[in-house]
Structure 1
Amino acid sequence: MYACIYASGDRAATAAWREVASAAHRHLYDHFDSAPGVLLGNTLHFLVRYSIGIIKFDLITQALSVVDLPYTLRCQDSALITTDEGGIGLATMDSKYKLYLWSSEAAGSIRDAGFVLTRVIDLEKLLPAAALRASPHVTCFADGARVVFMWTFDGLYSIGMKTEQIRRVPGCYAFDVVPYSSFYIPGRQQWELPRLQVTTDQPTKG
């Protein structure tokens, strides 16, 4: 696996790619999950598809490494999250409409892939009946808004990590989404959006 930083700069003349970092991983048939990565401190974290492991890329040292996850946490319906304690966590789903929130035992460290279950959310009590006609799927996590997005039969829903408030994203039925709350154009000020936005890689309905 390879990773590389592109520094755009304020001018095209200053834009440049840095050196390529690489790391070996025995699961060569796997690849990144389609969900966006999670930034914790100076390290980006990406989930290997089916939660086989977590890929870590240090933006300062440009070191690339892989941490294997325990077999009990390996499932298709999962997403990386950040915890209130400042660590890395996981949101996983099961077939009984329950959302499980896991936290790394040591805040900011997942070297030993130690995770503990911190909360279980019963979605059957929160989602409308139309959304439960098929099993919901965890798609991604928006760190700034502290919400997890879920694909359901009724469309895309978000659930707040603290309030457990459920909201439906109007007109969006996509599975793969990239949430963002602000964006930056080099040479200009940072533009803050009035509310969380969602981009998709496929047309929406409605």
Structure 2
Amino acid sequence: LVPGALVGNVLYFVLDFSDRILKYNLDTREISAVCDPYACYGKVVLMAMEDGRLGFARVESRLLMWSREDGPGKDDGWVQSKVINLEALLPVEVISRPLEVVGFAYSVGLFFVATVDCLFSVDLMSSQANKVIEGYDVYSVVPLMSFYTPGTDELMMVFLPSQLC
């Protein structure tokens, strides 16, 4: 499961086992496909970029962010917009394991990066990483944003372990 992204009035979804991203315009109700040559080489997370364009992120040895350049017709393409060196942020024993980007919280600028049994959040603004949970194999993170009024309740992070799926 790869969460989609809402960019303006357009919803985008990654098509499994394809190099395409499904594009659905909410105003016109038109469906089309966007070529995504980079997504077929590993798991990606779609996102709305700060400038209102479609973007995605993936992990190789670093966290790579790409944004969509819209041009007339076939001149559309992808431009690498940011690179985050995960080796400087994550513990040494984690870097030696396969990593995947499994989620993105747009409003707070957090990526979620997972190994086989550990989930980390990576803050885009501070370039800091924090361990979120250990001992579970996390495939996808769908952030739930809400507000908290001090003194009324405790904040809780709810997750569904993969063993229950």
What TM-score do the two structures reach when normalised by structure 2?
Answer: 0.79
Displacement, 1:133?
Answer: 3.5
Pair 1:172–1:45, CA change in 2 (3 A):
farther
Specify the alignment match of 1:37 in structure 2: 4
Tell me, yes or no, if structure 1 residue 140 matches structure 2 residue 100. Answer: no
Specify the alignment match of 1:186 in structure 2: none
Query: Does structure 2 conserve the Cα–Cα contact (< 8 Å) formed by 1:179 and 1:197?
Result: no
Query: Does structure 2 conserve the Cα–Cα contact (< 8 Å) formed by 1:181 and 1:196?
Result: no
Match of 2:22 among 55, 60, 63: 55
Map 1:27-176; keep pairs closer than 5 Å: 34-49=1-16, 52-70=19-37, 72-94=38-60, 97-106=61-70, 113-171=76-134, 173=136, 174-176=138-140
SS in 2 for 1:199: coil
Pair 1:158–1:125, CA change in 2 (3 A):
same
Query: Does structure 1 conserve the Cα–Cα contact (< 8 Å) formed by 2:68 and 2:78?
Result: yes
> Where in structure 2 are there 5+ consecutive unaligned residues?
150-154
Query: Percent identity of the aligned residues?
Result: 31
Pair 1:157–1:134, CA change in 2 (3 A):
same
Counterpart of 1:42, as a letter, is: N
In 2, Cα distance between equivalents of 1:68 and 1:160: 28
Displacement, 1:163?
Answer: 2.3
Counterpart of 1:40, as a letter, is: V
Aligned Cα root-mean-square deviation (Å): 2.9
> Where in structure 1 are there 5+ consecutive unaligned residues?
1-33, 183-191
In 2, Cα distance between equivalents of 1:110 and 1:44: 20
Is the radius of gyration larger for structure 1 or structure 2? 1
Counterpart of 1:79, as a letter, is: V
Displacement, 1:89?
Answer: 1.0
- Deviation digits for residues 18-75 of structure 1 (CA, Å, limit 9, x no counterpart): xxxxxxxxxxxxxxxx1211111111111123561111112222222111223x5532
List 4+ stretches of structure 1 deviating above 6 A: none
Larger RCO, structure (CA 8 Å, separation 6 or more) = 2
In 1, Cα distance between equivalents of 2:131 and 2:74: 36
Counterpart of 2:90, as a letter, is: L
In 2, Cα distance between equivalents of 1:193 and 1:172: 28
Pair 1:66–1:106, CA change in 2 (3 A):
closer
In 2, Cα distance between equivalents of 1:201 and 1:55: 28
